[in-house]
């Protein structure tokens, strides 16, 4: 096993063993709360963060409260890093297959 492969596997194991990883996309939107006296009634809408995930073949949007934003952003970033590491490892193995070094 090459040092590059060991490094990628080590990073991957750390991420998989992390508290959480989430497959999804974060989306920022502005929304109205519906109160007639609120500033959003004059067009100054409230910012909102949504997590877009696929469940049962359909896209779902989940509102992320302000108190959870940093943690959910980290979980989504960790998932993306896992995917990137898997792609890097796959490229290593494809090259080995091409060189017949299995």
Identify the band that residue 37 occupies on the pLDDT scale cut at 50, 70 and 90: confident
Q: What is the pTM of this model?
A: 0.77
User: CA–CA separation, 12 vs 79, rounded Å?
Assistant: 10
Q: Which residue has the higher pLDDT, 45 or 68?
A: 68
- The model's pLDDT over 49-102, given as tens digits with 9 standing for 90+, comes to 999 999 999 999 999 999 999 999 999 999 999 999 999 999 999 998 999 887
- Residue ranges per domain, the chain? 3-98
Angle at Cα 77 formed by Cα 28 and Cα 45, nearest 5°?
A: 10
For residues 64 and 53, is the Cβ–Cβ distance under 8 A?
Answer: no
């Amino acid at each position: 096993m090459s040092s590059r492969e060991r490094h990628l596997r080590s990073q991957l194991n750390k991420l998989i063993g992390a508290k959480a990883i989430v497959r999804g996309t974060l989306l920022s939107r502005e929304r109205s709360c519906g109160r007639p006296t609120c500033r959003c009634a004059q067009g100054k809408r409230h910012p909102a963060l949504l997590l877009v995930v696929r469940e049962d073949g359909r896209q779902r949007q989940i509102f992320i409260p302000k108190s959870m934003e940093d943690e959910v952003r980290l979980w989504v970033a960790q998932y993306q890093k896992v995917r990137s590491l898997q792609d890097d490892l796959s490229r290593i193995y494809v090259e080995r297959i091409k060189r017949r070094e299995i």
